[in-house]
């Protein structure tokens, strides 16, 4: 609807006034008109542009939350990777040091004629292999440190000193056995994940703009209500301009008008509608595709998380058994009932089990953080600011309710 107002004051004077000695006449007019669209642009269509911009602004806010969540996930995974790289390097250094000691002990036994000289060759070869593994672990630590420092925006001097302190958070005792996500959780994810909320807002915006474009196909039928009042005053003084708006006023007037316009061809409106309809269909396709992608990602991530947790538990048990086996094999070797090759084999198995344990722990923690990201709960909003729930980065208990 369009409300128009008009206030005017007009003075008329000329030769007739001078000849008849008439005073100049001042005509004042105050009028109002209200135009109400009955077909095209009726209802809230005129305000749709403003509402569409508001929805786009809200969608961009959700886009920002999604970017923040993605950066938090990247930073968390980079931190766990740095911690894992440090543990791998510690294992490599420990393995190299233990092989050095084994080489020294073997040489002493060879010198005492308790072991044949050929035994030393296997140990030297194994020592070279451990040295190579240690160098590779140092390279891995450097790369992990640079990756985390780059994400944190640190300077070169700060990145060089960057280290991940502490240990991996422990694996909880109670691990869910179910690896499927309940339908209730899937519905919650669809309602709270930021990028889905943004896609839903853009779909609603495209729907509103398409409705406006469809309304533009209608003929133009407007109802115009008018009213006003006129007054008159005489005199050449400036004040008479204003007195004409209030003195000698006539009876207020009113008017009602219907205006109808119909185009023989409305190609521009039809083309605009086709564009808006295509944009709406694209928004629907994007939203449905994102829903499928997110649903499958939540299912796969949760399934992978539970399997990684059980795998970590199994590798922890494997490390404990290999430690005991190595001690037994060393004792048997000292007693002469086992060879140095058996000791090296079990030692290699223990090292591989420890590296696997670190890798499984890393996979478990990254899966836990990824599940929080996929479910849209990795970050929250408090007082208009994005907040991070650290418990969702290393505590499995919150994810127990996800299982079907």
Interval 343-394: pLDDT, tens: 888 888 999 999 999 999 999 999 999 999 999 888 877 666 778 878 788 8
DSSP-derived letter for residue 91 is H
Averaged pLDDT for residues 75-82: 94
Identify the pLDDT of residue 360.
Answer: 95
**pLDDT-based confidence at 46, cuts 50/70/90?**
low
Identify the pLDDT of residue 333.
Answer: 77
Identify the pLDDT of residue 15.
Answer: 67
Averaged pLDDT for residues 28-45: 82
**Residue spans per domain, the chain:** 1-37+220-261, 48-218+267-402
Identify the pLDDT of residue 267.
Answer: 86
Identify the pLDDT of residue 21.
Answer: 67
Which of 4-8, 164-168, 277-281 shows the lowest per-residue confidence on average (mean pLDDT)? 164-168
Identify the pLDDT of residue 357.
Answer: 95
How high is the mean pLDDT of the chain? 86
Answer whether 217's CB lies under 8 Å from 252's CB: no
Q: Which residue has the tokens 């000193």?
A: 161
**pLDDT-based confidence at 403, cuts 50/70/90?**
low
Answer whether 294's CB lies under 8 Å from 186's CB: no
Using alpha carbons only, what angle is made at residue 166 by residues 163 and 172, rounded to the nearest 5 degrees? 135
Relative to beta strand 385-388, strand 253-261 is unpaired
Beta strand extents in 20-65 (DSSP E only): 25-37
DSSP-derived letter for residue 242 is H
**Tokens standing for residue 9:** 């004051």
DSSP-derived letter for residue 220 is E
Q: Tell me, which fold does domain 48-218+267-402 have in CATH? A: Outer membrane efflux proteins (OEP) (1.20.1600)
Which of 186-195, 287-296, 389-398 shows the lowest per-residue confidence on average (mean pLDDT)? 389-398
Q: What are phi and psi of 73, to 5 degrees?
A: -60, -45
Whether pLDDT at 6 is above 60: yes
Element at 385 (helix H, strand E): strand 385-388
Answer whether 221's CB lies under 8 Å from 38's CB: yes
What distance in Å separates the CA atoms of residue 34 and residue 7, rounded to the nearest whole number?
Answer: 15
SS3 label, residue 368: helix
Identify the pLDDT of residue 175.
Answer: 84
Which of 33-42, 82-91, 200-209 shows the lowest per-residue confidence on average (mean pLDDT)? 33-42
What distance in Å separates the CA atoms of residue 284 and residue 157, rounded to the nearest whole number?
Answer: 49
What distance in Å separates the CA atoms of residue 212 and residue 206, rounded to the nearest whole number?
Answer: 10
State pLDDT tens for residues 79-138. 999 999 999 999 999 988 988 888 887 787 777 776 667 767 888 888 899 899 999 999
**pLDDT-based confidence at 181, cuts 50/70/90?**
confident
């Amino acid at each position: 609807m369009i409300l128009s107002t008009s206030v005017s004051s007009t003075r008329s004077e000329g030769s007739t006034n001078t000849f008849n000695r008439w005073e100049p006449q001042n005509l004042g007019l105050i009028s109002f008109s209200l135009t109400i669209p009955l077909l095209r642009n009726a209802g809230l269509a005129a305000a749709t542009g403003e509402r569409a911009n508001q929805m786009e602004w809200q969608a961009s806010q959700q886009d920002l939350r999604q970017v923040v969540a993605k950066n938090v996930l990247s930073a968390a995974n980079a931190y766990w990777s740095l911690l894992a790289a440090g543990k791998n390097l510690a294992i490599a250094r420990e393995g190299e040091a233990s092989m050095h000691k084994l080489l020294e002990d073997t040489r002493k036994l060879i010198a005492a004629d308790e072991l044949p000289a050929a035994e030393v060759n296997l140990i030297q070869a194994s020592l070279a292999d451990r040295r190579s593994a240690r160098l590779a672990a140092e390279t891995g630590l450097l790369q992990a440190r640079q990756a985390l420092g780059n994400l944190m925006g640190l300077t070169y001097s700060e990145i060089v000193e960057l280290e991940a302190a502490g240990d991996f958070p422990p694996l909880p005792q109670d691990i869910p056995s179910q690896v499927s996500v309940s339908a209730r959780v899937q519905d919650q994810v669809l309602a709270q994940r930021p990028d889905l909320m943004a896609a839903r807002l853009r779909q609603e915006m495209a729907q509103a703009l398409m409705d406006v474009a469809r309304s533009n196909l209608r003929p133009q039928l407007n109802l115009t209500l008018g009213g006003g009042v006129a007054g008159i005053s005489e005199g050449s003084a400036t004040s008479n301009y204003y007195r004409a708006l209030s003195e000698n006023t006539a009876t207020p007037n009113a008017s009602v008008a219907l205006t109808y316009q119909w185009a023989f061809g409305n190609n521009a409106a039809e083309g605009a509608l086709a564009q808006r309809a295509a944009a709406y269909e694209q928004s629907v396709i994007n939203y449905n595709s994102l829903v499928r992608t997110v649903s499958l990602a939540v299912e796969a991530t949760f399934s992978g998380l539970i399997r990684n947790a059980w795998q970590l538990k199994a590798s922890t048990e494997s490390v404990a058994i290999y430690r005991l086996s190595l001690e037994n094999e060393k004792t048997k070797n000292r007693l002469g009932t086992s060879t140095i090759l058996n000791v090296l084999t079990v030692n290699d198995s223990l090292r591989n089990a420890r590296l696997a344990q670190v890798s499984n722990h890393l996979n478990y923690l990254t899966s836990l953080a990824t599940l929080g990201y996929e479910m849209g709960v990795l970050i929250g909003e408090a007082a208009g600011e994005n907040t991070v729930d650290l418990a969702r980065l290393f505590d499995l208990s919150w994810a127990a309710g996800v299982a079907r």
